[in-house]
Amino acid sequence: MPPLDEQQSAARHWFESLRDRICAAFEAIEREAGSDAAFAYTPWDRTDPSGEPGGGGVRGVMKGRVFEKVGVNVSTVGGTFEGEFAKSINGASEDPRFFATGISLVAHMANPHVPAVHMNTRFLVTTKRWFGGGADLNPPIPYAEDTADFHAAMKAACDAHPGVGDYPRFKKWADDYFWLPHRQVHRGVGGIFYDHLEGEFEPAFALTRDVGEAFLDIYPSLVRRRMDMPFDEADRARQLEWRGRYAEFNLVYDRGTLFGLKTGGNIDAILMSLPPLATWS
The SS3 call for residue 135 is strand
**Residue among 107, 96, 109 at smallest CA distance from 33:** 109
182 catalytically annotated:
no
Contact of 79 with 273, CB cutoff 8 Å: no
Per-residue pLDDT, averaged over 132-142, amounts to 97
d(CA 174, CA 186): 10
Q: Which residue has the higher pLDDT, 49 or 183?
A: 183
CA distance 98 to 86: 9
123 bridge partner residues: 101, 131
Which residue from 119, 179, 183, 115 is spatially nearest to 148, judged by alpha carbons? 115
Domains of the chain: 6-273 (3.40.1500.10)
pTM of the model: 0.94
The Cα angle at residue 90 between residues 92 and 165, in degrees rounded to 5: 150
pLDDT in tens, 142-161: 999 999 999 999 999 999 99
Count helices and strands (H / E) in the chain. 7, 9
The whole-number pLDDT of residue 9 equals: 98
Contact between 208 and 121 under an 8 Å Cβ cutoff? The reply is: yes
Tens of pLDDT, residue by residue over 186-240, are: 999 999 999 999 989 999 999 999 999 999 999 999 999 999 999 999 999 999 9
Residues 6 or more apart whose Cβ sits within 8 Å of residue 165: 157, 158, 159, 207, 210
The predicted pLDDT at position 129 comes to 96
For residue 137, the model assigns a pLDDT of 98
Model confidence band, residue 167 (pLDDT cutoffs 50, 70, 90): very high
Q: What is d(CA 156, CA 232) in angstroms, rounded to the nearest whole number?
A: 36
Instruction: Encode pLDDT of 1-55 as tens digits.
Output: 788 999 999 999 999 999 999 999 999 999 999 999 999 999 999 998 888 899 9
Q: Which of 235, 210, 87 is nearest to 153 (CA)?
A: 210
First-to-final CA distance of the chain: 46
CB 63 within 8 A of CB 276: yes
The length of the chain is 281
pLDDT digits (tens, 9 = 90+) for 242-266: 999 999 999 999 888 888 887 777 8
pLDDT digits (tens, 9 = 90+) for 89-112: 888 888 888 999 999 999 999 999
Rounded Cα distance, 189 and 116, in Å = 11
Whole-angstrom CA distances from 95 to 5, 53, 241 are: 18, 19, 43
- Whether residue 267 is predicted with pLDDT greater than 90 in this model: the reply is no
Q: What is the mean pLDDT of residues 172-182?
A: 96
Q: Using CA atoms, how far apart are residues 126 and 139, in angstroms rounded to an integer?
A: 36
Q: Which of 108, 113, 118, 186 is catalytic?
A: 118
Mean pLDDT, the chain, integer:
94
- Write down the pLDDT at residue 263: 79
